[in-house]
Each structure stands twice: as structure tokens, then as C-alpha cells.
Amino acid sequence: MTKRPDHFSLPRAIPAIHAAGWPFVVIFAVVSVALGLWFEPFFYIGLILTLWCAAFFRDPERVSPKGEGLVLSPADGVILPLVDTPSPIDDHDGPMRRISVFMNVFDVHVNRVPCDGRIEELVYRPGAYVNASLDKSSQDNERMLIRMITKNGRTVIFAQIAGLIARRILCHLEHQQNVRAGERFGMIRFGSRVDIYVPADAQIQVQPGQRAVAGETVLAVMTPPARRIATGSRAKNKIENKKAPSAKKRISRKKSPTKSSQ
């Protein structure tokens, strides 16, 4: 006899719905039925909106690539132009490069952690709600900034930014929390962008206009600090050795002793 499952599971082809979306799906469905009782065509309009709401809050499974120094996309969407910029939190982080992912209302809006590491700082900054595709939204819009130290000892900052329609940022991370790349950490309702700041020496793997998938697309690759220092030391020693004359050359430059007169 087959064992009865403890819970109802949807087919794998149908993505799960994020917990934050269920209240909206229920409200849309109830309003659709109520309007349909008053005027039947409204029910079908409401049904379409309900299905769209369920699709907006979909939460599909993702398989994150593994590798040293990988920075994964924290959001689904289109890569905007890359920008060289100082850290949005602390100038001591050094020069950084900003990679922005713009999400439209049809993209998956569940955000994912870009790297393995530890959350060092959470900074909420109120602001405006201008179009999130504009560059100024990174400084002007309401946003949640998350600063983390990766397992390689590098600083990475990612920011959830509210947009023209998005009015609610959900972030479930905590100070000193250890996280893994690809883990869900929040979402933005309804349509916005996520910025990610990586060290200026990181190797960028994407181009503006390219589509990114949260938890799967590799945005950049970072070199560990120890390797960078070792590489610099080897280069310095190579230059010094090149400048210093070899022992053979120093000996050949010495004058041979003259014979004593007899």
C-alpha cells in the first residue's frame, strides 16, 4: 500500500509561490469572484490579473554554480551599463564597480545571495520612487544596502532598490549572519532593480543588455587577497632580479691581477 503524502505538492513544472505573495493572490481571487457576480466579464479580467499576480510571486528552484570567487546575480533581469564608483557605504572599501540588474513586472522577484560569506552591515536609506532603470535611482531611491565579507576576504555590497511601482522592500538578512551563494534573502514588490558592488579588480563576466538569472548567472570573478599579494610580490622580485647584475657578470668585470716583476 502506498503511503499518503503529508502535504500537497505541485507538479515540478509549476513554480512555487513565495509566502509574501499568497495574501495578494487571495485578494485578487476574492475581488475577481465578487466583481464577476456583479458583472460576469469582470470575473475574467480579474482571473487574468490573479494569474499574473501568482506569476509575479513565483519562486522557482535554481542551481547555483560552485567556484572560488564567483559573484552570482542576486536578481532576474537585464544588465544595465557598468559603472566605476566608490563604495555606497564606506570609503574604506576602496574603488568598486557597480553591476545593476533591472527587473520588470514579468521577472521573478525573489532575490538571492551573490556569494558565500558573512553579513557585516545592513543600511536602510529612505528615498524617492523614480524609474529604477535610471542611473540616479541608485542614489535617490529608497534602498536597502547589504555589506558582506566573502570567504575569500573580499568586500561585496548589494542593494535592493525600490522603483516607480515597487513600494515594498523585503530583506530577511541579519547582522553577522553566515550565508551561502544562491540562498533566498528577500524580494521587491512590484518591479525594481538590484545593484551589486564588487572590487574594482574583479573580472566582469557580463555585458550591458544581457539577461541574468538570479542564483545562476556569474556576474564577476574575484581574486583572493592572498593571491593578489603573492602575485605582486613575484612581480616585484622579478623586476629587482632584472635590475641586479648577476654574480657571473660581477666577477667578469673585475680586473685580473697583474704579474709581479721578477
The catalytic residues are: 192
> Can you give the chain as a three-state secondary structure string?
CCCCCCCCCCCCCCCEECHHHHHHHHHHHHHHHHHHHHCHHHHHHHHHHHHHHHHHCEECCCCCCCCCCEEECCCCEEECCCEEECCCCCHHHCCEEEEEEEECCCCCCEEECCCCEEEEEEEEECCECCCCCCCCHHHHECEEEEEEEECCCCEEEEEEECCCCCCEEEECCCCCCEECCCCEEEEEECCEEEEEEEECCCEECCCCCCEECCCCCEEEECCCHHHHHHHHHHHHHHHHHHHCCCHHHHHHHCCCCCCCCC
